[in-house]
Structure 1
Amino acid sequence: MTQGSAQSSGASTPPAREPRTNWGMRIIIGIVLVVFAAIAFWLLSAFLPIWWANTIAQQVGGNLGGGVLLGLIYGFAFTFVPLLVLWQIRHRRVSWAWKGVLTVLAVLLSSPNLLTLGIMVGNSEAAHNAQRIIGTSATWFPQWTMTGAIIAGVLFFIFMIWSLMWSKRGRDMRKLKEQKHAAERDRDELRASVATREESAPTTALPETQTRPDTARNSGSPSASDSAPQRDIEL
């Protein structure tokens, strides 16, 4: 009776309903995030070019040699280092989450060169104002930044080819070592099997020394030298 009532109560219990997805709230949150991203982008595009141009102008100080040197340093460092960070993504042991983190880090590290590029190719009012600031206080900075970036790209390409060749050489060396160890292991196993076979083989007794037939005949019949005195005695 108890089991029947339990079964009937279990059968009458309705299945648990899955919680409904509130798509309306999700859509509202998505729209708010898009609006905030658009406002932030507009503010940054209006503020960052002029801020970056003033920062470079203060560092160069109107010196042509300073603009050349600083442009080379910025162009090379903030191109080569981000490429090195991105180069780590190729490893299989790096998870997708860390690949995303490395990508964001590479973009942040290359932001000085991206800001300079945005100023030089930009068409906004802030970009034009920044171009005038750099043109009067840091004349050669953009050109030599591009030169440093090109040098960094060429050197990184050489480094990439060398790294791939070195990795291939390492894999080939490991493969040769594995083959050598396998050959030595097979040789040791062969020697051990031969030694085990020799130890387990029965020892055969050496046959007794057999007399040769001519020796047996000579031992059974008297020699010619022994029979000669007997004939003399008979005579």
Structure 2
Amino acid sequence: MTESSPTRDPARMPPWLFRTIAGAVAAVVLVVAYLVGSVTLPSLWAKAVVGQLGGQPGNSVPLGMFYGFTFTFAPLLLAWQCRRRRLPKAARVALAATAVVLTIPNLLTLGVMYGGGPTAVDARALWLTEANWFGTWSQIFMLCGAVCAVAGIALGRTWLRRGREVRMLKAAQSRGRGNPGVDAPKAAGAARAAQPGTPDVSGAQAPDSRGAETAHESPAP
């Protein structure tokens, strides 16, 4: 009896075609979002920053330090956690999405500082009069946040690896204390083998014992 091969549903879209259409739609959405955002977001972000200063341009320095450091340090740490395979896939996706969202303030700042559109030019002019130091100190502390995040990740990995090594060493020591009879013969054999000119007693006695057993078992003539 032969098994019939499963027939493919002709109405179902092939996976490659679905992925192609989804990628094209996503690309179109991103392009439209970029065009709309480049026209509206720089001006909105510049006004939002000026509104947070409370009429005091000197507050632009600590505000730029806060935005630059926080919204670089936190996204990098969250993005690093996404590589942990122990986490569920949904949790990793949520961490990645949160990391992307947290980078938006710094991306908007960079868009205002280096954008070539008329909206970005107007936003820079507003910052020059109302928040002159915000962009500069924000970029400086973006670099500081990135350096601190990389250093924290490196130190964290070193600390975790050292902790695993200490736990393994303690586990090996506890096993050795729990089974002294198993490790003692091995240690004694290793000590005898390390001494020069010491014959191997176990190997020399083995044939004699077997010969004695054979002589004892053989019948008398």
Q: TM-score by structure 1 length? A: 0.65
The number of residues matched between the two structures is 180
Partner of 1:206: none
CA deviation map 1:180-233 (0-9, x unaligned): 122123216679xxxxxxxxxxxxxxxxxxxxxxxxxxxxxxxxxxxxxxxxxx
Q: Among residues 59, 65, 71, which one is paired with 1:72 in the alignment?
A: 65
Partner of 1:17: 7
Give how far 1:170 is off.
Answer: 0.3
Give how far 1:30 is off.
Answer: 6.4
Partner of 2:133: 140
Partner of 1:215: none
CA–CA distance in 2 between the matches of 1:30 and 1:167?
Answer: 39
Change (3 A) 1:186 1:68: same
Partner of 2:200: none
Give how far 1:90 is off.
Answer: 3.5
The 8 Å contact of residues 89 and 99 in structure 1, kept in 2 or not, is answered as: yes
Give how far 1:165 is off.
Answer: 1.9
Q: Which amino acid aligns with 2:134?
A: F
Q: Among residues 49, 57, 63, which one is paired with 1:56 in the alignment?
A: 49
Which blocks of at least 5 consecutive residues in structure 1 are unaligned?
Answer: 1-6, 192-235
Q: Which amino acid aligns with 1:90?
A: R
Percent of aligned positions with the same letter in both sequences?
A: 33
Change (3 A) 1:58 1:161: same
Q: Which has the larger radius of gyration?
A: 1
Partner of 2:215: none
CA deviation map 1:159-191 (0-9, x unaligned): 223212211210111111121122123216679
CA–CA distance in 2 between the matches of 1:37 and 1:74?
Answer: 25
> Residue 90 of structure 1 aligns to a residue in which SS?
coil
Give how far 1:63 is off.
Answer: 2.5
Matches within 5 A, 1:24-173: 34-173=27-166
The 8 Å contact of residues 176 and 183 in structure 2, kept in 1 or not, is answered as: no
CA–CA distance in 1 between the matches of 2:62 and 2:27?
Answer: 40
Root mean square deviation, CA, Å: 2.9
> Residue 34 of structure 2 aligns to a residue in which SS?
helix
